[in-house]
Structure 1
Amino acid sequence: MFRGTGTAVITPFKDGDVDFDAFGRFIRFQLENRIEALIVLGTTGESPTISDFERTQLIKITVNEANGTVPVIVGTGTNSTEKTVEMSTKAFDEGADGVLVVVPYYNKPTQEGLYRHFGEIATRVQGPVIIYNVPGRTGTNMLPDTIIRCLDFDNIVGVKEASGDQYNVDYLLSRLKANHSDLKVWSGNDDQAFHLCSSGGDGVISVISNAAPLKTSSMIRSILGGDLESARDLHLELLPIMKAFFVESNPIPVKYALSLMGYCRNELRLPLYDLSDANRTVVERAMKESGVL
């Protein structure tokens, strides 16, 4: 799919509706700042609150703006295998280059259930599938050995790893190397992207690149190109927003940050609500420290 930085794109709202004009402008901002992929309708895009009509329009806008220059990856995962197949098929029909499928949430499948869930999806959809492991949100950790089993399916092309367990990440990378696999591994945590890429990973699917696309993509390109000193400098420079953008549930802080930058309104859909006054100060200070504001 890609090596480098994929932005997990926010969804702008205006008076309760999706602001499609602001979304198009924001996609162009990302492309102008050299990101390598666009990930829409994920957690950062508030996908659980987006209607089917809105999903279709957001995918179309992204595909049109990208115009084949970078892959467009659409979040389609649910806690129903059948529904995920349906949504993934529709995303490919609308021009997606890949789908991001989160580990099923709430129903807490076993490792065998996870293998069968992703296998069923991979068997039935006609395009690349990326596993998204984020146990902090789903309640289930997809273990490295289960991910390795998914090498049985050719169109499972990568994993967004957001378990927060660096040992598991390194173990997964070592097993993939031993199997001579080209399965891509991207960090799902901005503060671990430098470390994952230094261990042999392929990049990051990033929240902070919404606000700092050029610095984030430059950091990852430097790591992948072997310039660890430049990458480390950028990692440390971006460290304040890596923390501040998660001071409340994502995407609450990054939405506020982008409103300060003029890319969207500070508007979310319930059950998400505005960033607290105290944490607005935290975010603003971090943005200044990181040179974003």
Structure 2
Amino acid sequence: MFEGIGTAIVTPFKEGKLDIESYEKLLNFQINNQINAIIVLGTTGEAPNISLDEREILIKKAKEVSGNKAQVIVGAGSNGLNHTIELIKNAEKNGADGLLIVTPYYNKPTQNGLYEYYKYIAEHTDLDIIVYNVPSRTGINILPETVYKIASDCKNVKALKEANSSFEQINKDLLLLKELKDFKIFSGNDDTAFQLLASGGDGVISVASNVIPLQMVQMFKFIKNGEIEKARNIHFSYYKLFKNLFIETNPIPVKAALSIMGFINNELRLPLVPASEPTMKIITETLKGCGVI
């Protein structure tokens, strides 16, 4: 499992179809700026709106561009076990290095249900698994104790992406899960990534690194080298960007930002729609304010 910055990459579209030219351009921007992993088909990649055939194209292209310079982690979670297994087999077939498995949304399982769910998945793949906790999107919060039990019993469950903004839970994650050998804890929120990393976290699965990959990599390296003040300066220099990339539902603002930067068309698939005019103005001003454009 990687350590450092993984970019939750957007999926560019053009006239309703995959825009592979823009996707490749964005992937090269990430690799050239030392990103450690590309996370394909996560929340930011609009995974629910991508067909199996399109998934194959996106995974293969990410592998082709990344080569041996960055891992390709594929989002393969859904709210149903059978569909999740189907997505996992698709990821395996196309060369994924690992899997990002979100807690099953809408069903609202118990903690024991979550344990059994991840245990079954781990038994049906050889790929390394990142448990993805994002209660604001799924309606369910997987507790540190549950993740600990899963990872203790399932040796290919290698990491947690924690997008619960509760510092109490983040601290519990770090206290409990660091007892597990080689287990990684990633921040799923850019605005609290500095704090998690400074407390001993292993990386960030980042939305902002679509826009500022090198700066996110630098922040991580500064923290690992004990240069906390330099890392803190980066954190606060881009704090407005971290916050404003979520003023509408992700990935609406980050796609707006990348379109302003000239990487992609500002196009999403329904039920998501492009950013409103006020949001476009805020994103433009934010990019200018932190020197991105």
With structure 2 as the length reference, what TM-score do the two structures score? 0.98
Partner of 1:220: 220
Partner of 2:156: 155
Partner of 2:113: 113
Q: CA deviation digits over 1:145-186, x for unaligned, max 9?
A: 101111210000001000111111111111123x34321000
Q: Residue type of the partner of 1:107?
A: N
Q: Distance in 2 between matches of 1:2 and 1:32?
A: 17
Does 86-95 or 135-144 show the bigger shift? 86-95
Q: Distance in 2 between matches of 1:221 and 1:3?
A: 11
| Aligned residue runs from structure 1 range 108-257, under 5 A | 108-151=108-151, 152-177=153-178, 179-257=179-257
SS at match of 2:200: coil
Q: Residue type of the partner of 1:112?
A: N
Partner of 1:7: 7
Contact 1:150 1:156 survives alignment (8 Å): yes
SS at match of 1:56: helix
Q: Distance in 2 between matches of 1:71 and 1:104?
A: 24
Q: Distance in 1 between matches of 2:224 and 2:274?
A: 37
Partner of 1:86: 86
Contact 1:240 1:287 survives alignment (8 Å): no
Deviation at 1:82? 2.1
Q: Distance in 1 between matches of 2:245 and 2:122?
A: 33
| Aligned residue runs from structure 1 range 29-108, under 5 A | 29-108=29-108
Q: Distance in 2 between matches of 1:98 and 1:180?
A: 19
SS at match of 1:256: helix
Moved over 6 A (4+): none
Q: Distance in 1 between matches of 2:289 and 2:171?
A: 31
Deviation at 1:42? 0.5
With structure 1 as the length reference, what TM-score do the two structures score? 0.98
Q: Distance in 2 between matches of 1:254 and 1:26?
A: 13
Q: Distance in 2 between matches of 1:84 and 1:3?
A: 25
Q: Distance in 2 between matches of 1:90 and 1:154?
A: 22
Q: CA deviation digits over 1:26-47, x for unaligned, max 9?
A: 1011100111110010010011
Contact 2:52 2:90 survives alignment (8 Å): no
Q: Distance in 2 between matches of 1:5 and 1:218?
A: 10
SS at match of 1:291: coil
Identity of aligned residues (%): 47
Q: CA deviation digits over 1:100-120, x for unaligned, max 9?
A: 000000111000000000000
Give the RMSD, CA atoms, in angstroms: 0.9
Contact 1:89 1:126 survives alignment (8 Å): no
Q: Distance in 1 between matches of 2:82 and 2:126?
A: 15
SS at match of 2:243: helix
The answer for unaligned runs of 5 or more in structure 1 is none
Contact 1:188 1:205 survives alignment (8 Å): yes
Contact 2:59 2:95 survives alignment (8 Å): yes
Q: Distance in 1 between matches of 2:286 and 2:158?
A: 35
The answer for unaligned runs of 5 or more in structure 2 is none
Deviation at 1:284? 1.1
SS at match of 1:120: helix
SS at match of 1:247: coil
Contact 2:256 2:275 survives alignment (8 Å): yes
* Paired residue total: 292
Q: Distance in 1 between matches of 2:224 and 2:290?
A: 22
Does 8-17 or 274-283 show the bigger shift? 274-283
Q: Distance in 2 between matches of 1:189 and 1:283?
A: 18
SS at match of 1:234: helix
